Amino acid sequence: MNKPEPDNLKSVIAKSNAVAVIVVVLLVNFAFAFLNPFGKTTLADLPKDHSWISWTTSDFVSQPATPDIVFLGSSLLLHPLTMLDAHHLKRTVDYADYHRSAYTEERIAASMGVKKPIVFNYAMPGGMISDDWIITEAMVRSRKKPKLIVLGICARDFMDCKVRCPGVMPTFKYLSKAIDMQPVLDLALPNLTDRTDFVIGKIAYLWDVKPAIQELLRGQTRSAIAACGVTNGALQFSAEQLDKLLTADMSAELERGMMVEEPDKERPFSDNTLEYLQRYKHRHESLFASEKQFFEKLLIAAKSNDIKVVVVNMPLTTLNVKLMPPGTYNEYLDAVQTLTSRHDAIFADFNDDDRFPSSLFYDTVHMNSVGGKRFVDALVNVISADKVCIEKLSAPGAAGIASGGGQPL
């Protein structure tokens, strides 16, 4: 009997090792899928990947009390209110760490004669209505639901031509690990190519729960580093350095110091017409249809959990509205007003050139701090005129545990 050649023997051993590795991986995956140790992922378990949504979510879960009011929306709501607080508080604020609205808190307390509420700004740059929905679901399911949601919206949030579908947005992808995606899969990821990550996750358990595993490994690594000998001059890291070294996604979208607002300093006007010509390039009918459904889902989820929603049609410059395809703006406005009325939410139309002239904007869509102040003042007038809002904000304590949305994560 001939002995196998050395090269053939090496090839057989290599193939055997590869098969063994595959078998081990499959067995581990099957064991984890059966035991489901990460089945109850919470918002706090999601990895701090230094994205806008992870900074904000981490701050939200670390709040000692459930916020009374949560702002949802895009940068149209995020930037003016953050700029406003920088001027109001007379200090530099960092977008990575600051997600409150101090001026709103003070104005509501003074106007309504109630204890100063906690107002949390969960607005996301480039946020879509589907992002607002998934944030709402995450809050409800984490049993930290607010009394009021202020939802600032515009037509772009429903039909941005730079967005393929809702499920590919950073906020949606990040929070989708904390809720059941199956009921909204067709809306969020209508195309097979966009479902790749989701499909792989359903086949490979370890792939699906990788954010939870990343956070677990990150915590263990931090503990191991902290336990190293540091009493004899060994290399030490600050908390900020550790956060950066151990981040789950090294291509950070936001770092401390990257985006700040300074007191008594306004941004110069910038013409972003070309950007919005691309965003309004055509009528994104499929996205508009999906986002309308997510809008209604948000209103239903809020109502079923006793959260009052104030929907605000955000101010825009006349120039920006004229960039939209003919009929788009009116179709958007009609849909929003119809759904808001159907689900007993408050609708406030702030897109008014008389109240919000172009002098209150630093580009064609974003208000400056002066515009932000006028926005909050107008918003407080709306809230203080509603009986339900008055009752909710006058009641002691936070809204507390959700009454719907399934079991806590």
Predicted pLDDT of residue 254: 87
**Phi, psi of 95, deg, nearest 5:** -60, -25
Predicted pLDDT of residue 405: 38
Q: Quick check: is 282 in a domain?
A: yes
HSE of 48, CA atoms in CB hemisphere, 13 A = 22
Distance CA 214, CA 220 (A): 10
Quote the domain boundaries for residue 269. 47-168+254-394
How far, CA to CA in Å, does 179 sit from each of 182, 209, 226, 392, 409? 9, 12, 33, 27, 8
Distance CA 84, CA 396 (A): 28
114 by Cβ neighbours in 10 Å (0-12 / 13-18 / 19+) ranks as middle
Taking 50 as the pLDDT cut, the residues of the chain under it are 33-35, 37-38, 207, 230-237, 239-252, 398-409
Q: Give kind and range of the element (H or E) at residue 342.
A: helix 328-342
**What's the pLDDT tens digit per position in 192-225?**
877 776 666 556 655 455 555 555 555 556 566 5
Distance CA 254, CA 4 (A): 58
Q: Quick check: is 346 in a domain?
A: yes
Predicted pLDDT of residue 349: 98
% of the chain beyond a pLDDT of 70? 73
Q: How many domains is the chain built from?
A: 1
Q: Quick check: is 322 in a domain?
A: yes
Distance CA 185, CA 195 (A): 8
Q: Quick check: is 15 in a domain?
A: no
Identify the residue whose tokens are 């339900």. Answer: 388
What's the CATH code of the domain at 116? Answer: 3.40.50.1110
Identify the bridge partners of residue 398 per DSSP, sorted by sequence position.
none
Residues found in the chain: 409
Predicted pLDDT of residue 370: 97
Q: Quick check: is 159 in a domain?
A: yes
Q: Quick check: is 177 in a domain?
A: no
- End-to-end alpha-carbon separation of the chain, Å? 63
